[in-house]
Amino acid sequence: MTGSFPAVRPRRLRSTPALRRLVAETRIDPAQLILPLFVRDDVVDPVPITSMPGVVQHTVDTLKAAVNEAADLGVGGVMLFGVPSDEVKDGVGSAATDPEGVLNAATRAVAAEVGDAIVVQTDLCLDEFTDHGHCGVLAPDGSVDNDATLGRYRDMAVEQARAGSQLLGLSGMMDGQVAAVRAALDNEGFQDVAILAYAAKYASAFYGPFREAVGSTLKGDRKTYQLDPANRREGLREALLDVDEGADVVMVKPAMSYLDLVADVSAAVPVPTWAYQVSGEYAMIEAAAANGWIDRDRAILESVLGIRRAGAEAVLTYWAVELAERLRKEGRA
Ligand code: PBG
């Protein structure tokens, strides 16, 4: 019995919506979506981000409301980013380790507000907090000093854990950052605070709108620490190293242009593999949809489904709340 036409007709299983739903290989559950959120402490009203229509820089109050809304819809987690004012930025990113710095203070407020209803996660990186905009501290020659940066990450990690973050998103791409942060957390009694390693994070043009979102001051680029978009094996190597160093979850970022990495990494590591659908991916679909060039709702669903299908168990996406709402309404979650 060979599998060939006319006995074999793959279209059979596509013939009704109910059949298609039954044989769908990939599903999106709101619990597998994570909402990135931006917060600042120097405004009284949320500030829209022009290049990310529908996304705002929150005040602490509107942030709490946004996290509550996400929790009510069953969204799995939030990832918080602080947007400090320019006056507090300096060479070492002091505001990142100040317990009253915007991210730590907002995390404390959110954690107290939502308890266990949703996983509260924080971005652990210096770029929002430094006046030069790099993810680490600089050596006298102006290069990003890997080992000196690790000390800053350790201190940041402990402050974020104290504030109530349950999962620290290490996005700085310094060598040894996972091991350094793990040791610092354990040393302070935070054995149960988990590490999400942005293991394969590429030097990508698709972070463009994010730089507006956090008011980045970066001049130059991050090519000495983020991965070269040409490299696949190196991304896998980074993920394996991070698992060795104690990462609880690894991430591939961006998502859409790196689905081969999502597939490679998720197949190779014994920990959950997530992907970040970044600001530029969001902006592209929103802009094309606003022009009437693509069907917005279908494109959003398809883009996240593709990331899940490639092997990501959870997806960071700026559409997390909207998608969760839709999936519920359509009875798909
Ligand atoms: C670094 C960080 C960046 C993003 C998340 N964490 C920017 C960068 O590395 O330049 C980008 C996220 C996005 O574009 O949505 N703190």
ipTM: 0.95
User: What Rg value do the Cα atoms of the chain yield, rounded?
Assistant: 20
Cα–ligand 1 centroid distance for 22 (angstroms):
37
Neighbours of 293 (CB within 10 A): 11
pLDDT for position 23? 97
Q: One of 64, 89, 223, 253 is an active-site residue; which one? A: 253
Portion of the chain with pLDDT greater than 70, in percent? 99
129 lines ligand 1 (CB under 6 A): no
pLDDT for position 181? 98
User: Looking at the DSSP assignment, which residues form a beta bridge with residue 39?
Assistant: 58, 82
Hey, which of 207, 253, 286, 318 would you mutate to test ligand 1's pocket, going by the most ligand atoms within 8 Å of its Cβ? 207
How many Å apart are CA 314 and CA 238, to the nearest integer?
A: 19
The tokens describing 110, both together, are 């959110």
Q: One of 64, 89, 201, 329 is an active-site residue; which one? A: 201
**DSSP 8-class letter at 88:** G
Cα–ligand 1 centroid distance for 210 (angstroms):
6
Residue nearest to ligand 1 atom 5, measured at CA: 171
Strands 273-276 and 119-124, by their bridges, are unpaired
Portion of the chain with pLDDT greater than 90, in percent? 94
pLDDT at residue 266 tops 90: yes
pLDDT for position 217? 82
pLDDT for position 1? 59
How many Å apart are CA 63 and CA 58, to the nearest integer?
A: 5
Average pLDDT over every residue of 145-163: 98
Average pLDDT over every residue of 37-52: 97
pLDDT at residue 332 tops 90: no
Hey, which of 127, 149, 212 would you mutate to test ligand 1's pocket, going by the most ligand atoms within 8 Å of its Cβ? 127
Residue nearest to ligand 1 atom 12, measured at CA: 278
User: Looking at the DSSP assignment, which residues form a beta bridge with residue 273?
Assistant: 250
Contact between residue 120 and residue 71 where contact means Cβ atoms under 8 Å apart:
no
pLDDT for position 331? 72
pLDDT at residue 107 tops 60: yes
Contact between residue 332 and residue 323 where contact means Cβ atoms under 8 Å apart:
no
How many Å apart are CA 157 and CA 167, to the nearest integer?
A: 10
Is the domain covering 29-329 a CATH 3.30.200.100 domain?
Answer: no
36 CA: nearest ligand 1 atom: 15
Angle at CA of residue 35, ends 32 and 37, nearest 5°:
165
159 lines ligand 1 (CB under 6 A): no
125 lines ligand 1 (CB under 6 A): yes
Whole-prediction pTM: 0.97
pLDDT for position 131? 96
Active site residue 64: no
**DSSP 8-class letter at 318:** T
Average pLDDT over every residue of 164-191: 98
Cα–ligand 1 centroid distance for 254 (angstroms):
9
CA dihedral 184, 125, 34, 314 (to 10 degrees): -70
Average pLDDT, the chain: 96
How many Å apart are CA 181 and CA 199, to the nearest integer?
A: 14
pLDDT for position 177? 98
pLDDT for position 2? 66
Cα–ligand 1 centroid distance for 275 (angstroms):
13
123 lines ligand 1 (CB under 6 A): yes
Helix residue spans in the chain (DSSP H): 17-23, 60-72, 102-114, 146-163, 177-187, 208-213, 233-245, 259-268, 279-290, 296-310, 320-329
pLDDT at residue 91 tops 70: yes
pLDDT for position 333? 53
User: Looking at the DSSP assignment, which residues form a beta bridge with residue 202?
Assistant: 227
pLDDT for position 145? 98
Angle at CA of residue 213, ends 69 and 77, nearest 5°:
30
Active site residue 253: yes
Cα–ligand 1 centroid distance for 37 (angstroms):
12
pLDDT for position 254? 98
